[in-house]
Amino acid sequence: MVIRYDAPLNLLVSTKGHPFDTPAFFGMFDDMRGMTWTHVEQPATTALMSPEGASDFDALLFYDVPGLQFKTPKPPLLIEPPETFKTGFRGLLDAGKPMIFLHHAVAGWPLWDEYAEAIGTRFFYQPGTYKGRDYPDSGYLFPVEFTMTPEGDHPVTKGLEGGFTLTDELYLMDMLEDDIEPLLRADYAFEQDNFYSAANALNARMWTRDGWSHGPGTNLIAWAKKAGNAPTVTILCGNDASTYGDANFRTLLRNAIDWVTSDAAADWARAA
């Protein structure tokens, strides 16, 4: 398959819910050839989440954390998505709309399991449940240097065959679904003693793990998944400007955009 890097694409980029370096982040997309992009913040994004609302976009990229209102030092307020969003999001998956979930987007809509199912995982800011099973709050660690190595041969990791090193944020969490295609793994020990409790952090106790119990987590940093008829890619790194400016990370992100919008990805997603 040939990746058409100069193919005209129109990308929706959704943000809000987590601070980030906006000039550096949006600079990534400005530097991508052959692509236009539109930035929308939550909750306005919700109004576009339907096949009709998103019809002008070739792919949707989520860098947001909808469904939470942070109340530090109190637990966050968790919010159910509107029924119109649920219906529209299901419609997008059924229609095969390509999606990319980047970094903290894996924490979105914590009260709606279908969102986590589309991604394959969820970052729990506090202990929660998924499909009736209880999970502890997830872990975080930054800044940390780690090397990512591709698993298998996939267009998303084209040009990254030797792996690459970043200084970014890592999460300690579980894969919740097993029907994913691994793309990149990190050479780091994803164990409780190397991470800090997300729930403690929201209680104004950053960098602590007392009272927290979490088993070993996944070392996957990127993967592809079929969600309904839609091809999706999740990339867990992407915390700050040093990553946004990294040439290998930019290659990874552009590869992901080009692949999810390709005919090959559409055929792959509909072949289930």
pLDDT value at residue 272? 64
1: pLDDT strictly greater than 50: no
pLDDT above 50: residue 55: yes
**DSSP three-state, residue 265:** helix
- CA-to-CA dists, residue 239 to 20, 162, 173, 252, 266, angstroms: 7, 22, 17, 15, 29
Q: Using one digit for the tens of pLDDT, what is the confidence trace for 140-157? A: 999 999 999 999 899 999
Q: Specify the pLDDT at position 168.
A: 97
Q: What pLDDT digit, counting tens, does each position of 14-48 carry?
A: 999 888 999 999 999 999 998 999 999 999 999 99
Check if the beta carbon of residue 81 is closer than 8 Å to that of residue 34.
Answer: no
Residues 177-219: pLDDT tens digits? 999 999 999 999 999 999 999 999 999 999 999 999 999 999 9
Q: What are the CA-CA distances from residue 126 to residues 62, 119, 136, 181, 269 (Å)? A: 21, 19, 7, 27, 32
- The neighbouring-strand residues paired with 235 are 102, 222
Model pLDDT for residues 89-103, shown as the tens digit of each residue:
999 999 999 999 999
| pLDDT tens-digit series, residues 209-267 | 999 999 999 999 999 999 999 999 999 999 999 999 999 999 999 999 999 999 999 99
Q: Please provide the average confidence, as pLDDT, over all residues in the chain.
A: 94
The tokens for 230 are 């839609």
Q: Report helix, strand or coil for 253.
A: helix
